[in-house]
Amino acid sequence: MPGILTSLRLFLGCAILCGLLYTTALTLFSQAVWPWQAGGSLLVKDGRVTGSLLLGQPFASARYFHSRPSASHHDPHASGGSNWGPSSSQWREALQQRIVAAGGTTVNPVPADLVMASGSGLDPHITPEAARFQIPRVAHARQLSEDTLQQLVRQVTEKPIMRLIGAKRVNVLRLNLALDALDKPGRTASPP
């Protein structure tokens, strides 16, 4: 019986310390130091939330740059991969459909991140190469010059953290919002 009481006290102490005090302190600290990031990095356009810079969104129109494919259809409540491996005929078929849909050819191969889904299905970034691959389609759909879109992609390309950690990447939502800003008279394409 004394062992059970000791175990129960230890369990309650750890639950209070780790489950309540630690999480409360961490939440308060992050809200005080990084309130925008702790609040979900939400972007507001015309008074309403258009999305989060932390979560990928589907963009199907030819007028927009497309995100990475998602096995969960970009649903944050069902994030995850398809669990299909390279030996799966379903995976190979889905991959082939994505290559054709993206307009890939043997001369113009599609960047991998436009045909391969991320593990979570919610990755908000693509590579600069994947963004540049989509420029001809978006330029044609919007009647814009490819040079203008090349410059826009360069503007929104994020550098590695401290120039060391990670790779260059493009947040698709930020890029598409900057793209929409080009359509408004008197506005420049500065990223949000």
Span 110-151, pLDDT tens digits:
998 998 888 888 889 999 999 999 999 999 999 999 999 999
Does 94 score more than 80 pLDDT? yes
Give the global pTM: 0.79
State residue 65's pLDDT score: 96
- pLDDT mean over 48-59: 88
Are 187 and 82 a contacting pair, CB within 8 Å?
Answer: no
The reply to whether 27 falls in a domain is no
State residue 169's pLDDT score: 95
- pLDDT mean over 44-49: 85
Query: Around 55, how many Cα atoms within 13 Å sit in the side-chain half-sphere?
Result: 20
Does 1 score more than 80 pLDDT? no
**Residue 53 is encoded by which pair of tokens?**
């810079």
Distance in angstroms (rounded) separating the CA atoms of residues 4 and 10: 10
Closest C-alpha to 149, from 94, 189, 187, 105: 189
Cβ neighbours, 10 Å, residue 166: 12
What is the per-residue pLDDT across 147-189, written as a single tens digit (0 to 9) for each?
999 999 999 999 998 878 889 999 999 999 999 988 765 545 5
State residue 185's pLDDT score: 56
The reply to whether 32 falls in a domain is no
The reply to whether 46 falls in a domain is no
Distance in angstroms (rounded) separating the CA atoms of residues 18 and 13: 8
The reply to whether 111 falls in a domain is yes
Supply the range of the domain harboring residue 80.
Answer: 55-192
The reply to whether 92 falls in a domain is yes
pLDDT: which is higher, 40 or 190? 40
The reply to whether 80 falls in a domain is yes
Are 64 and 170 a contacting pair, CB within 8 Å?
Answer: no
- State the total domains in the chain: 1
State residue 29's pLDDT score: 94
